[in-house]
Amino acid sequence: MKSGTFRLSRRAMLSAIAGVAAVVSFGFGAPAEAADPLKVSAIYTVPVEQQWVSRIHKALNAAEARGDISYEFSENVANTDYERVMREYAENGSDLIVGEVFGVERAARKVAADYPETAFLMGSSFAPDGENFSVFDNFIHEPSYLVGMAAGKATETNKIGMVGGFAIPEVNRLMHAFMAGAKSVNPDVEFMVTFINSWYDPPKAKEAAFAMIDSGADIMYAERFGVSDAAKERGILAVGNVIDTAADYPGTILGSALWHMEATIDHAIEAVKAGEFKAEDYGKFSYMEYGGGSVVLDPALLPDGTVEEVEAKQAEILDGSFTVDVNDEEPKSSM
């Protein structure tokens, strides 16, 4: 084993727009004055500490710190209340409204249609809509494949447990990519897969992980909070998802597939400032090519040579010679 922590390199984030000319545009709306920060509002159905939402929150805070935007948000908004909060932000003059509408697609799109001068950027499983409803998603299947390779090398029982929130495309594709990466280096590895049908229920995720560990899993894929706690308590390894929690679980997290929302958020800000915002799919900005995803590994928890093998595959992804498949179907246990 090697000591220390090694972070695989990733391409730099898209730089923030340097300035905006105060001229009339024939695109979406009119360009904002360069000196005036955009008014950006965000609506979250879970706490901002939750993995997925925390990345959006982080990127928006960074944009506010640069002076590009003023930022306000609402968290723990119930689906039944989501439309009302969207309308309130639009009525109060928000230039850009960001959120995740997986459970309220129809209502959210209706709101966007009612406020054509407001830009909407929403996490969604579906296509952009109208003139002002753009969508994004966490396409971090590439780093998920890479950390899967590390897990495939590290397992000793050849049994890996996987606990997810809901079996939706956003989760399914990451699990499939992880499994493919593990299989690519260890054809004998098997998987136990379960979904807790909640985005934020750490105790339930922890209990699901305990059951898999009791069945022989020596590595846990922690798509939800609570799984790494179970791994730590039982003295086995875990794989992080979306954020790096290694500091909270020393000696437990062998690696993580990270999501970076800066490229997505910065593109939207630039478009609104330039008066060119339109309905488009921002999914590509989560790819490693755009700095939207990366991998962090702990060499001390991995067999010798693993980091180098993963880094070589990353280079193939970045130069286009290797493509990680996107599989949105529900993953199944193989044991």
250: left (phi over 0), alpha (psi -120 to 50) or beta: beta
- Report the C-alpha gap between 246 and 253 in whole angstroms: 5
- 12-21, 132-141, 152-161, 297-306: least confident range: 12-21
Q: What is the pLDDT of residue 103?
A: 87
* Cβ-based burial of 3 (10 A; exposed 0-12, middle 13-18, buried ≥19): exposed
Considering the entire predicted model, what is its pTM? 0.86
Question: Is 70 exceeded by the pLDDT of residue 262?
Answer: yes
pLDDT at position 19 is: 37
Contact 138, 170 (CB under 8 A): yes
pLDDT grade for 35, boundaries at 50, 70 and 90: low
Q: Any residues with CB less than 8 A from the CB of 214 and at least 6 apart, and which?
A: none
Mean pLDDT of 20-46: 63
* pLDDT tens digit sequence for 187-241: 999 999 999 999 889 999 999 999 999 999 999 999 999 999 999 999 999 999 9
Cα 131 from Cα 214, distance rounded (Å): 52
Residue 27 pLDDT more than 70? Answer: no
State pLDDT tens for residues 283-296.
999 999 999 999 99
DSSP assignment letter at 230: H
CB atoms within 10 A of CB 167: 17
Q: Mean of the per-residue pLDDT values for the chain? A: 91
* Distance separating alpha carbons of residues 20 and 272, to the nearest angstrom: 10
- pLDDT of the residue at 205: 97
Compute the distance between CA of residue 53 and CA of residue 172 in angstroms, rounded to an integer. 18
Q: What is the per-residue pLDDT for 51? A: 87
Q: Model confidence over 5-15: pLDDT tens digits?
A: 444 433 333 33
Q: Is 247 helix (H, G, I), strand (E, B) or coil?
A: helix
Task: Return the minimum-mean-pLDDT range out of 22-36, 87-101, 138-152, 166-180.
Answer: 22-36
- The pairing of strands 38-43 and 96-100 is parallel
CA nearest to 222, candidates 175, 176, 189 = 175
Residue 24 has pLDDT above 60, yes or no: no
Q: What is the mean pLDDT of residues 109-118?
A: 98
Reduced to 3 states (helix: H, G, I; strand: E, B; else coil), residue 162 is strand
Amino acid in position 10: R
With DSSP H G I counted as helix, E B as strand and the rest as coil, what are the percentages for the chain, rounded to 5? 40, 20, 40
Q: Mean pLDDT, to the nearest integer, of 306-315?
A: 98
In DSSP notation, 74-106 reads E-S--HHHHHHHHHHHHHTT-SEEEEE-TT-HH
Please say if the pLDDT value at position 29 is more than 90.
Answer: no
